Amino acid sequence: MTKPFDLVVHGATGFTGRLVVEYLLQRHPQGPGQTLRWAMGGRSADKLAAVRDEIGAPASTPLVVADGGDAASLRALMAQTRLVLTTVGPYQLHGSPLVAACAEAGVDYVDLCGEPAWMRHMIDAHEAQARASGARIVFSCGFDSIPFDLGVLMLQDEMRARFGAPARQVHGRVRKMKGTFSGGTAASLRATMAAAQGDPAVLALLRDPFALTPGFSGPRQPPGHKPMLDEALGQWVAPFVMAAINTRNVHRTHFLLGHDWGADFEYDEMLVTGAGERGKAIAEAVAADKSMGGPGGPQPGEGPSRAEREAGHYDVLFLGSSADGRTLRVAVSGDRDPGYGSTSKMVSEAALCLLDECAATPGGIWTPGAAMGQALIRRLQAHAGLRFAVEAE
């Protein structure tokens, strides 16, 4: 039986959910002859209608009322769509029933999760069922962790094509970043910290670079927790706040690809702060800054203006070196602020890619890189303002 919708945006009344809907309206306008059947989803029909009207969506835009905490409501949602794109976080507080429902019903799922301990719990609880039902569950389809996951994937593909062997070690270096992190990211960090304080098992997962690779623990990884002078760049680098999730996703991609880059693969991420004493001082200040998870950080539902989103950008360099010393650099850049403008485009294209180009990807719990790979890279470059390029040394 054909379902009414290909895709439902769950959380369409939130700040990021609205941006996703606005992007889908540009890419796949509602109306006669549309090729993508999609709907706005949320808990309140009145709020959904209000947001639809505020953003100028056609009155015919379908609205799907679904409560993520109500099992019957979620079963009804499963019967209506092939895929759920959810922006409702923190996922450890609001996301578990939806993942369980998708895994049981064989419905695809993408989100913006940056919460590794919760993701591991979902893998342990639902991977086998997702494989059996055919549901493709793909976490972390925003700034955490698509540019990093796919940046490493592209570098490794290029290393093999050029040198016949993958990089044994890759360093991710955030060279430029203008924009704010989302309120949802900050809320997720606060929820994760609270969970870790109450549960030693959560803390152990947060400390483990291989938290998302059940049954596998690789070599000791570069620490990345204090300022240092990066000799390859000749500049100071500082701990990068998103490294805790991005590095885990990169290792899970490697795990899902059968450790194609070697069991001794190492990966780390840091933020470039500049050269000399000034670069060192900035790196030390960044390392000492704990405001991201504090009460003064951005709140869910808050976000930058359109002008601020469009003025944002980011640029990440990946430096790979093989066991025999050959090196390669790949740069990934985005044309909007990372937390909102670019993230809303990335998660939308991830959902569309999973629906349109990944029929061969079986059920299971995936990363963007392992599930969609080069197909997603092509889509992001064609539609979402990202650029992936080999860079001369």
Q: Tens digits of per-residue pLDDT, 220-274?
A: 999 888 999 999 999 999 999 999 999 999 999 999 999 999 999 999 999 999 9
CA distance 21 to 49: 13
Q: Is the pLDDT of residue 19 over 90?
A: yes
- Could you tell me the two tokens for 230? 């990066």
CA distance 239 to 228: 9
Counted residue by residue, the chain has a size of 393
pLDDT band at 297 (very low <50, low <70, confident <90, very high): low
- On whether the pTM is more than 0.75, the answer is yes
Beta strands across the sheet bearing 63-65: 63-65, 38-42, 5-10, 81-86, 108-110, 136-138, 364-366
pLDDT of residue 385: 97
- Could you tell me the two tokens for 212? 């998302």
